[in-house]
Amino acid sequence: MPRVPLRFRNVDPALNLTNWCMLIMSATARTMLLLFTGHLVYTFNILKDQNKNNVKIVLDIENAKCSICLNLWHDVVTVAPCFHNFCNGCFSEWLRRSSANSRDKIQGAACPQCRTSVQSVGRNHFLHNIEEAILQAFSSLQRSDEEIALLESYASVKSNIHAIWTLDNTRPVPL
């Protein structure tokens, strides 16, 4: 399976993995939890590149696929608390259909992958950058314009985080 290297600039080579967690957490708090408590495993290496320090993330492309459509993410969203990732359009359409078919509207939405009760969902810009790097390296994974248009017509998650249910899980909060 292909692995895609991603590079981040201006990295102190003295940092260890624990410090990386803190660095990533301070930059994108939700991403840190995804990187180190989720199912995806990222490998960080410090590289010398043109007198600059970079971080290289090695990712198996199979871990960058939506479990609904089984393709590479498009406009990736992350659900909490389980931190599974899906295409925005796939998750939005799945949520719409599952809400329409649900007999118990109060129970709330469940993650399509693990069935955990979803408390929030948001666009994941860190993983979107990974998606873009993969598409640059492997253009054969690019979807057709028609498929992208369909996914974008389904997409309802517009910002970084949306609460789906109130804390007491008694009433929905609109996406």
The stretches in the chain having pLDDT less than 70 are 1-57, 102-107, 161-175
* pLDDT score recorded for residue 34: 35
Question: What is the domain count for the chain?
Answer: 1
* pLDDT score recorded for residue 51: 52
- Does any domain span residue 169? no
- Give the whole-angstrom CA distance, residue 32 versus residue 25: 5
Per-position b or e across 94-104, b if 16+ CB within 10 A of its CB:
bbeeeeeeeee
* pLDDT score recorded for residue 129: 86
CA Rg, the chain, in Å? 17
- Does any domain span residue 170? no
* pLDDT score recorded for residue 101: 73
Q: What is the DSSP string of 80-97?
A: ETT--EEEHHHHHHHHHH
* pLDDT score recorded for residue 53: 55
Pairing between β-strand 120-123 and β-strand 76-80 as defined by DSSP bridges: antiparallel
* pLDDT score recorded for residue 52: 54
- Does any domain span residue 23? yes
- Does any domain span residue 48? yes
Domain range enclosing 116:
3-163
Three-state SS for 137? Answer: helix
